Amino acid sequence: MIRILTVIGARPQFIKASVVSRAIQAADGIEEILLHTGQHFDANMSAVFFDQLGIPQPDVQLDIHGGSHGVMTGRMLAEIEAVILREKPDRVMVYGDTNSTLAGALAAAKLHVPVAHVEAGLRSFNMHMPEEVNRILTDQISDRLFCPTDTAVRNLEAEGFRNKPVQILQVGDVMQDAAMFFVRHAVAPHELPSELLTTEGHGSSPTKREGDPSFVLATLHRAENTDDSERLTAIVNALNAIHRALAPVVLPLHPRTRAAIERTGLILQTHTINPVGYFEMLWLLQHCGLVLTDSGGLQKEAFFFGKPCVTLRDQTEWVELVEAGVNELVGADQARIEQAAASHFGHTVQDHAELYGGGKAAERIVTHLLQRE
């Protein structure tokens, strides 16, 4: 029996790990110990995903959140180390690029426990992003590098990983697995204004037909935007202007962004709602006419649902979407955001190339985990 210790702690990691956990449960010869660091702890940032996605309750629940990056990562490192010593896993598995990712990988590597990194090889080439630091360091100490895209493989090759005794495995993107598997449960968020619900099944606006693009779906939480008042102001102004002139903007607001907006004294005039569960997010993706975001995950989910994306960043790790012309990077420039939103709203985009593996990533990951060497 192969024992895997999975370390997760933040919203996107719950979604990614849910599909791999299910594939582990369906396989023989492998068992998972689930550790939640506590990095995200609000019910609507954590518990809702465990409930909706059927993730087993964590075997180990830590309570580490807040504080500086150093304090948070350091506390996680110490506590995860103790868990590894106690549980003696054959391997530690980490996801993505958060402080939980780095702490889990580092604790394992120092104890000579091999590390598998899901979402290896992604790069923004911006070392000011905490996520970039976390993912580069995590890749350096992992020996199974599960890459979601060909670009990610090329990034690792450019950094010399082919000369290291590690396995670089292009398995596709677990987020596509999640979107494809859970879409049948999509449900409208209860906080959504009734005029945005389509007629079918909801009986609200008689003028709106099922399939009409009715709103812009926006999310905002990257530190580069929330912690820079100039960028935050430009983005909030753009969202307000789009809401007034183009289409209603639905904004499930991340707690960090809510705090930053309150601090800065900005006023959002959009349909601002609390963070939603994954099933509600899938509904918003199905029904929107455009995604406006600085999230990594949302850029791809827009594509999975045939929606164009305007990205509120200067770089992206998902460059294949920009190359395919379905994602436009506009940074935090108010005029560019408004122009791009107007030119993409309501268009449909298509996945001709199966860029993200077609929903089989979790299965492939488990097949590789079952191979000891």
83 vs 33: CA distance, rounded Å: 10
Q: State which amino acid sits at residue 243.
A: H
Q: Is 301 in the site for ligand UDP (CB under 6 A)?
A: yes
> Nearest approach, Cβ of 74 to ligand UDP (angstroms)?
22
Question: Cα torsion for 357, 101, 373, 110, to the nearest 10°?
Answer: 170
Nearer residue to ligand UDP within complex by CB, 83 or 118: 118
Catalytically active residues, by annotation: 221
* Cβ closest to ligand UDP, residue 24 vs residue 281: 281
Specify whether the CB–CB gap between 34 and 54 falls below 8 A: no
Q: Which stretch binds ligand UDP (CB under 6 A): 7-15, 117-125, 259-267, 312-320?
A: 7-15
Q: Which two tokens stand for residue 100?
A: 């939980």
Q: With CB under 6 A as the contact rule, which of the stretches 9-17, 73-81, 133-141, 226-234 interacts with ligand UDP? A: 9-17
Q: In terms of CB distance, is 6 or 316 closer to ligand UDP?
A: 316
Structure tokens at 88: 């003696």
Nearer to ligand UDP, 9 or 89 (CB): 9
Which residue stretch of 162-170, 239-247, 296-304, 335-343 sits at the interface with ligand UDP (rule: CB under 6 A)?
296-304
Binding status of residue 15 toward ligand UDP by CB under 6 A: yes
Q: Least distance (Å) from ligand UDP to the CB of residue 164?
A: 26
Report residue 160: phi and psi, to 5°: 85, 15
Instruction: Find the shortest distance in angstroms from Cβ 168 to ligand UDP.
Output: 22
- Smallest distance, ligand UDP to C-beta of residue 227, A: 15
Distance of closest approach, residue 222 Cβ to ligand UDP, in angstroms: 7
Name the residue among 129, 167, 171 with its Cα closest to residue 150: 171
CA 110 vs CA 132, 265, 270: distances in Å: 21, 45, 47
Our CB check for ligand UDP shows the closer of 31 and 191 to be 191
Residues 225-284 contacting ligand UDP, CB under 6 A: 252, 275-276, 278, 281
Provide the 3-class DSSP secondary structure of residue 262: helix
Q: Which residues contact 354 (CB under 8 A, 6 or more apart)?
A: none
> What's the gap between Cα 181 and its chain centre?
16
In terms of phi and psi (left: phi > 0; alpha: psi -120 to 50; beta: otherwise), the region of 89 is: beta
With beta carbons less than 8 A apart as the criterion, state whether 16 and 55 touch.
no
Q: Which stretches of the chain bind ligand UDP, using CB under 6 A?
A: 11-12, 15, 219, 221, 252, 275-276, 278, 281, 295-298, 301
